[in-house]
Amino acid sequence: MSSRTWLFTSESVSEGHPDKVCDRISDTILDAFLAVDPHARVACETLTTTNHVTVAGEVRGPENVLKDVEQLVRDAVRDIGYEQDGFHWQTLEVVNRLHQQSADIAMGVDEGSKGEEGAGDQGIMFGYACNETEELMPAPILLSHNILRSMAEARKNGKETRLGPDSKSQLTLKYENGRPIGIDAVVVSTQHGEDVSQDDVRDAVLPFILHALPVGWSVPQDRIFINPTGRFVIGGPDGDAGLTGRKIIVDTYGGAAPHGGGAFSGKDPTKVDRSAAYAARYLAKNVVAANLADRCLIQLAYAIGVPDPVAVYVDTHGTGKVDERELAKVLRETVRLTPRGIRDHLGLSKPIYARTAAYGHFGRSPDEDGGFGWERTDLAQDLALHFGARADAAE
């Protein structure tokens, strides 16, 4: 039988991309509320354009945090690195339109007599994992993130002064029989200084691309496209308006797996758009870490005001080593998949969200303070023992 080959492409955008600026601001405001009150409710949307930021949405939490919103916005923009004429953390206009949460919504999701909270909305959430990288993530999106994250680190620590905050990457990988075997093309577009030539931009960016490639991989020089349209001096919200939640495929699996209907940023963990997507990734990653499948997709479905998911679906894409229905049953018994159960199990009621706003919510290393706790593989050993498998990646 002949081998099956194909190309697959994923993209990432940097923290300075206009939409990612909005995600960062929304999650910074969320963290500020959770730092004071772990039970705060936040649904914060942000819009950016030339020297302007508007925040809007509904909150239920300490009133004093609302007074800090303007400074939180400015601090976030400053940390990203915007000090250009058309978007400067000191001079931009900030409009705060946050208001108190609707009583009707609060009634549906508040804790009931059994100590549970209903889901904040109906919806479906997906989680995915695969064994093509150590992080159990699809390789194209992971490598795309790695290029931009390393560029941002060098820019912010002063090692690379020619590049600006706004950038995008795109990788096309070659696959053979379900495994990535090499890179077909790389595209990176990055903002740069007024006096920086395109040759200098290429010299600055190329080392970050090559460093991100797996050992033994290479890409022909004529398949590396750096700033293919030429100059990119005006960037960020001065070049294009931004909105919270417009980069959901960048946030998840780069198109290698489905995404539910909702974005993540600016939403507290009672919103299953966020918390259930994290739980689904957590379960899928542990299934793959337990060597129960090479690929695992999990779907969770909720009804507004109802604590438990109305459905749990598992698909191992023909790579599973156990019955999928039994696996779904065991996963549901292992983790309580109510909003409160997810929040308690993963420790989500903490100010850990601003760091998720760029370079992906998944495939990151768990932090000591609980950040990216959904990336743990602490269930893998028990799952492997239950099904008689071997947990290769269990912590």
Which residues are catalytic, by number? 17, 19-20, 45, 58, 168, 232, 240-241, 246-247, 267, 271, 273
Nearest to 349 by CA among 29, 33, 34, 25: 34
CB atoms within 10 A of CB 220: 10
Binding residue positions: 17, 19, 45, 58, 101, 166-168, 231-232, 240, 246-247, 263, 267, 271
Q: Following DSSP, what letter does each residue of 341-370 receive, concatenated?
A: HHHHHHT-SSS--GGGSSS-SSSPPPPTTS
Q: What Å distances lie between residue 74 and 3, 24, 36, 152, 245, CA to CA? A: 53, 11, 20, 19, 20
Residue 259, CA atoms < 13 Å, CB-side half-sphere: 19
3-state percent helix, strand, coil for the chain, nearest multiple of 5: 35, 25, 40
Signed CA dihedral, 76, 81, 85, 87: sign only: negative
- Helix boundaries (H) for 113-256: 139-156, 198-212, 248-251
| Integer Cα distance of 190 and 182 in angstroms | 24
